[in-house]
Structure 1
Amino acid sequence: MTITKKDLSPIARAALGLIGIVQVAFAFLAFWDLSHRDDADVRGPRSAWVPVILVNWIGPAAYFLFGIRR
């Protein structure tokens, strides 16, 4: 059985939309930070972080937790 758009309540659809917007914003912030940070402040090559950030939720979180030298 698959869930279709008709099966979701309007509140559930709004919640999923909000979660999607937050996820895209999180990835955007990670990309923005990566592009504005000096090479010495990023662990590993920048080109390796681009596909990592594209992994939903986990990628941007990994970049912010492990990709930035403090």
Structure 2
Amino acid sequence: MARKKSWSELSGGKKALVIVLSLVQISLTAAGYRDLAKRPADEVEGPKLAWGVAMLANWVGPIAYFAKGRKGLGLND
């Protein structure tokens, strides 16, 4: 099994990719939490607390929230 590379061993392009993907993930999660906080509970599919916990699951949680967790957007009607 190959050894994982440390940050200093990564090329400049790979470091940039890690940073960009991290920023996208953080932004997606922040947008999900902001939307969840502002959206009334009757416009959310299921408990808001459950969606808040689910959004901690890297990419899957926020994408699932935007795809299935919001009511009245034409997608879940």
**Bucket of the pairwise TM-score, normalised by the shorter protein:** over 0.9
Larger helix fraction of residues: 1
What is the aligned-residue RMSD (CA, Å)?
0.8
Aligned length: 70
The two structures have a TM-score, normalised by structure 2, of 0.85
How far did 1:20 drift?
0.2
| 1:4 lines up with 2:6 in the alignment | yes
The letter of the residue matching 1:22 is V
Gaps (5+ residues) in structure 2?
73-77
Gaps (5+ residues) in structure 1?
none
How far did 1:35 drift?
0.4
How far did 1:7 drift?
2.2
**Greater relative contact order (Cα < 8 A, sep 6+):** 1
